[in-house]
């Protein structure tokens, strides 16, 4: 069990929770989180890690996350991880494309990319349906920052040969990114219902060009060319 430092509402059904302790994790990985009043673990991607603890930006979708949203400073919660693979930071320019709560894992990507490659360009595109949230944290990291509300963020993305692309968001957004970029330099983080997080329950199987794979163990990060049709 670990102690909650804060659990703040950031927008409608969007919360940011920080948990005290020493945690490990690479950009794009996730933790399975469980409280005393939830039966199943919930997979939530890492939003940030620093010297004080680990941060999760999450959306209330069901009873489990609804219960999480009611937790306060000093309450305890159980979590294990990090799980899954991660976004490999490229030694070239990087463009991040996020939609809604899919923006959550991209902050740690942006932070660590700029720590490692200060001379490389970072462009960030963030799209939301009704209201934006947690966008100001990118202003000190991104060389270019684009925010769209109610539109199609992928239409704004600039395409270049010397750039790698990471996307996370609704499936329709990532398919749109694939149609525009259509390159093996596009990597997507997939979302799937999962109970165990380690590939045992087989609940998150997906079809890929390399056969059936598990989002929790083989992903959540995949090359877009592996999961989307030509």
Residues of the chain with CATH 2.40.30.10: 2-83
Is the pLDDT score of 36 beyond 80?
no
Q: What average pLDDT does the chain have? A: 93
User: What digits encode the pLDDT tens for the residues 95-123?
Assistant: 999 999 999 999 999 999 999 999 999 99
Summarize pLDDT for 116-130 with one digit per residue, the tens.
999 999 999 999 999
**What percentage of the chain reaches a pLDDT higher than 70?**
93
Cβ(159)–Cβ(181) below 8 Å: yes
Q: Report the pLDDT value the prediction gives residue 2, as an integer from 0 to 100.
A: 94
CATH code of 93-189, in short, is 3.40.50.80
Element (H, E) at 212: strand 211-214
State which fold the 2-83 domain adopts: Elongation Factor Tu (Ef-tu); domain 3 (2.40.30)
Helices (H), 32-100: 63-68
> Tokens 């659990």, residue?
7
Residues of the chain with CATH 3.40.50.80: 93-189
User: Is the pLDDT reported for residue 152 higher than 90?
Assistant: yes
**Tokens encoding 59:** 């959306």
Hey, which residues does 212 pair with through a beta bridge?
207
Residue 187: pLDDT band (50, 70, 90) is very high
């Amino acid at each position: 069990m670990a102690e909650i430092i804060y659990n703040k509402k950031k927008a409608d059904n969007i919360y940011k929770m920080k948990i005290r302790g020493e945690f490990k994790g690479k950009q794009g990985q996730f933790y399975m989180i469980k409280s005393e009043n939830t039966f199943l673990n919930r997979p939530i991607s890492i939003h940030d890690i620093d010297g004080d603890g680990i941060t999760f930006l999450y959306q209330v979708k069901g009873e489990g996350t609804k219960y999480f949203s009611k937790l306060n400073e000093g309450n305890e919660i159980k979590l294990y991880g990090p799980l899954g693979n991660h976004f490999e930071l490229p030694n070239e320019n990087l463009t991040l494309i996020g939609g809604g709560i899919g923006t959550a894992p991209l902050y740690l990507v942006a932070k660590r990319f700029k720590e490692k490659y200060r001379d490389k360009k970072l462009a960030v595109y963030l799209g939301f349906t009704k209201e934006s949230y947690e966008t100001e944290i990118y202003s000190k990291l991104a060389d270019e920052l684009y925010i769209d509300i109610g539109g199609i963020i992928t239409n704004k993305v600039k395409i270049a040969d010397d750039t790698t692309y990471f996307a996370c968001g609704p499936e329709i957004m990532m398919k749109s990114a694939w149609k525009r970029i259509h390159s093996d330099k596009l990597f997507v983080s997939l979302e799937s219902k999962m109970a165990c997080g380690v590939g045992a329950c087989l609940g998150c199987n997906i079809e890929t060009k390399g056969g059936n794979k598990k989002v929790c163990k083989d992903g959540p990060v995949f090359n877009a060319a592996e999961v989307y049709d030509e």
